[in-house]
Amino acid sequence: MVEDHRIEYSAVVSWTGGALGSTASYETYSRDHCAFVPGKPVLELSVAPCFHGDRSKLETEELLLFAISGCHMMTYLAIASRSGLEVLDYLDNPSATLLLEGNGGRVISAILRPHVRISASGSLELAESLHQTAAKDCFVGSSMNFPITIDAHQTHGTGPEAA
């Protein structure tokens, strides 16, 4: 019998834009907000510029993309380590598509583009196949209700240069 293990998460998300005025006008109220977990750094956030947000701040959709990519990477590295595959570098350039619908929208797809550099003795085929296992095992990615495509690239290398 598998024991049920749960990890609870909590955070604080606060609209900081209220200090600049109320929501009396859709065009002018501030979209600034922050998010943090007590004892950890505060993230200053906004929304996309098309919704009157501050381009210099992170958007929540970008955080979703970070979470998907970061979870896949950490899962991949754990599986690689357990499989005896020595990963030297891992770099991803992910993207996601937000479809605007009426007054809202939804993320409809994401693409992960990991570039993985493995030791000269490692198997490129194994390095590639581990992405499928990581996609299945990644907590965040497997929780999404939209397709996540993985366009992975593997190379051999021994130097300090990035993948």
Nearest to 119 by CA among 145, 90, 155, 144: 155
pLDDT at residue 93, as a whole number: 98
Say how many CA atoms lie within 13 Å of 55 toward its Cβ: 2
Instruction: Answer whether 142's CB lies under 8 Å from 150's CB.
Output: no
Instruction: Answer whether 35's CB lies under 8 Å from 12's CB.
Output: yes
Work out whether the CA dihedral 111, 80, 87, 138 comes out positive or negative: positive
pLDDT at residue 104, as a whole number: 85
pLDDT digits 0-9 by tens, 72-107: 999 999 999 999 999 999 999 999 999 999 888 899
Nearest to 95 by CA among 139, 65, 70, 115: 65
* Bridging pattern class, strands 58-59 and 43-46: parallel
Q: Say what percent of the chain tops pLDDT 70.
A: 95
pLDDT digits 0-9 by tens, 121-146: 999 999 999 999 999 999 999 999 99
Helices 60-83 & 124-137 angle (0-180, nearest 10): 130
**d(Cα 112, Cα 109) in Å, to the nearest integer?**
10
Nearest to 75 by CA among 9, 148, 146, 10: 148
Which whole number is the average pLDDT over 136-161? Answer: 90
**Contact partners, residue 128, CB within 8 Å, separation at least 6:** 152, 154
pLDDT digits 0-9 by tens, 6-54: 999 999 999 999 989 999 999 999 999 999 999 999 999 999 988 899 9
69 has a pLDDT exceeding 80: yes
Domains and CATH numbers, the chain: 12-56 (no CATH), 60-156 (3.30.300.20)
